[in-house]
Structure 1
Amino acid sequence: MIDILAISGSLRAVSSNRALIAALARNTPPGCRVSVYDGLGRLPIFNPDDEYGPDDQGGRTPREATALIDAIT
């Protein structure tokens, strides 16, 4: 099984990129699975200090960033 995570770089609700990704997800060939990531607008601005800050010396990854990392993994 081939797993594909599709991410549109546009946040517009009627974006042509989103429409293409939706069409891809609906027309996936056998042996392939497409998951559409829709959390782009909820991602925080990247700040390395948040990731590796003093919070127990390990920092903390924002929840939505963790969700994206898990989806990619």
Structure 2
Amino acid sequence: MTIIDHKNTNLSSKVQETLFVKGYSQIFNWVDYFSYKNQTADKIFRAEAIAELFIQNTSEISDYADYEF
């Protein structure tokens, strides 16, 4: 594994973790991930930006929608 591979894995892991925390872990897929990764190349908080794109472009409801906090 090269440094670049580790960087990509690290970013995808952060995206997956962000989606999990928000209750959307089921919507992650690699095709959209690479597309969103290219769209967010200029973002400072890239993992959060990618996660937000996943959430904006889905019709899925958060796992936490049924809970009252």
Does the alignment reach a TM-score above 0.5?
Answer: no
Larger RCO: 1 or 2 (CA < 8 Å, sep 6+): 2
Please give the TM-score of this superposition, normalised by the length of structure 2. Answer: 0.26
More helix by share: 2
More strand by share: 1
Please give the TM-score of this superposition, normalised by the length of structure 1. Answer: 0.25
Larger Rg: 1 or 2?
1
